A and B are shown apart, each in its own frame.
Chain A
């Protein structure tokens, strides 16, 4: 098994930490992982993305230009990364603020309205966990129990009381993600 993912959105959406939790979950499952962020001050408020690779075998390049899955959380990232999903690959996006929806027909497109859902759940901070739940529903690359273990590892002790809320968000994400018909 090998899954090459890009997660892209605004800085502050929890893009990097979502990737980190995913990577940690891979470690918990004894898999090889890499996590390569865009970095630098432009991330604060600007766009941020992270490439995560989870694999049974040793990982060669941590930098890719084609992905099995793209998780896209704003329009700029849609413009940049839709074309870089491998044929037959998966694109997951949050519809919030998206004006140009995906058009490719050779990939499977899922939509998850996590921004809306997070607002409804009154926990904007769990936005990225809703997205993560959606992703794991369509691509169960790691077990949920390992995600929880990963969360424990990546969150400082003083935030461990938030784990049940995050678990709830993951489950909610699994419920609300749905496949989209790509219009001609």
Chain B
């Protein structure tokens, strides 16, 4: 039966995690995402599905708890907001280096430093370029609605286990705090130890007789072996780039101008498209759903059709770099976005489009 609920994006993450059969959540409070752990603690999934929920002493600890759980083949996750995710970067590079699957939610707020608790999209680089040391990537999903906050929990875990790599859900204070209708999926059972045993021959579940011991590690002192490992990682990312790009196109068929925006900014830009179309301006929008892998090919194709692109994000201009690389500077690409927790309005986006692209 279809079960429609009204809830915040943060609450949707928690409910979706329980229903999907997540094994463990480890977190540390920070605004604007604390409702994730609060909801989990109120729902007490340990009594129903057996899910472990633990408040850690820091984000450093929570991401390392995620590492421990992931190493056992369990579906484990954490969530935080920007300052906390900065602390997690160490853990994330170790997870990527040890090829462990996990899901990390970043409900982004404005920075740098302690910054503001208001929404921003200024952690794009950190999310899509790796964030920690070494050559690795986080598969990055950008939900634009409360429904997607719920749905992407499952999608993120599937990608994480398919590629044995951490997946980030890059959200922000708007999507985390707003309430919308959401349809939650049916409860699924958690994986049994037998299932994990059968499917994840790398998981440290105890060395069985006659079986090789399993080691989860990212250290390799022989540089030649380490180089080979790095090539293997890169091949994995290449496959991911070929197979996992997700995006949404809105009114692009006859578009002369293109807005590119993700997450909450894409919602605002959708309204800008509506208003602009009423004014007779032929604008379309491309919404990357995966920020890594980035919809490069789709942008390249659109660049052959439109006269200019406005990249709209609540940052000083981060995603614009990937757009420029994708369109190889063949058409004008400009950035617009408010900073420090200020949210641009649909009208401001149209003004920017008129000034920077149409007039420019």
A and B touch in the complex (CB under 8 A): yes
Residues of chain A contacted by B348 (CB below 8 angstroms): 65
Measured between alpha carbons, how far is A145 from B4 in the docked complex, in Å? 18
Is A23 an interface residue, CB under 8 A from the partner? yes
Residues of chain A contacted by B174 (CB below 8 angstroms): 36, 62-63
Count of residues in B whose CB is under 8 Å from the partner chain: 26
CB distance from B173 to the nearest CB of A (A): 7
Is B78 an interface residue, CB under 8 A from the partner? no
Most chain-A Cβ atoms within 10 A of its Cβ — which of B173, B179, B264? B179
Residues of chain A contacted by B347 (CB below 8 angstroms): 65-66
CB distance from A81 to the nearest CB of B (A): 14
Contact indicator per residue, chain B 274-297, by CB within 8 Å of chain A (1) or not (0): 100000000000000000000000
Is A99 an interface residue, CB under 8 A from the partner? no
Residues of chain A contacted by B179 (CB below 8 angstroms): 20, 23, 33-36
Which residues of B come within 8 Å of A, CB atoms?
Answer: 4, 6, 31-32, 117-118, 173-174, 177-181, 264, 267-268, 270-274, 343, 345-348
Residues of chain A contacted by B31 (CB below 8 angstroms): 39-41
- State the total of A-B contacts with C-beta under 8 angstroms: 72
Measured between alpha carbons, how far is A34 from B182 in the docked complex, in Å? 11
A60 x B345 contact (CB < 8 A): no
Which residues of A come within 8 Å of B, CB atoms?
Answer: 20, 23-24, 27, 32-37, 39-41, 59-66, 153-154
With contacts A61-B271, A63-B268, A65-B346 known, what are 20 further pairs, Cβ within 8 A?
A27-B181, A33-B6, A34-B178, A35-B180, A36-B177, A39-B117, A39-B177, A40-B32, A41-B31, A41-B117, A60-B268, A61-B268, A61-B346, A62-B180, A63-B174, A64-B271, A64-B346, A65-B348, A66-B347, A153-B6
Residues of chain B contacted by A59 (CB below 8 angstroms): 180
Measured between alpha carbons, how far is A37 from B178 in the docked complex, in Å? 7
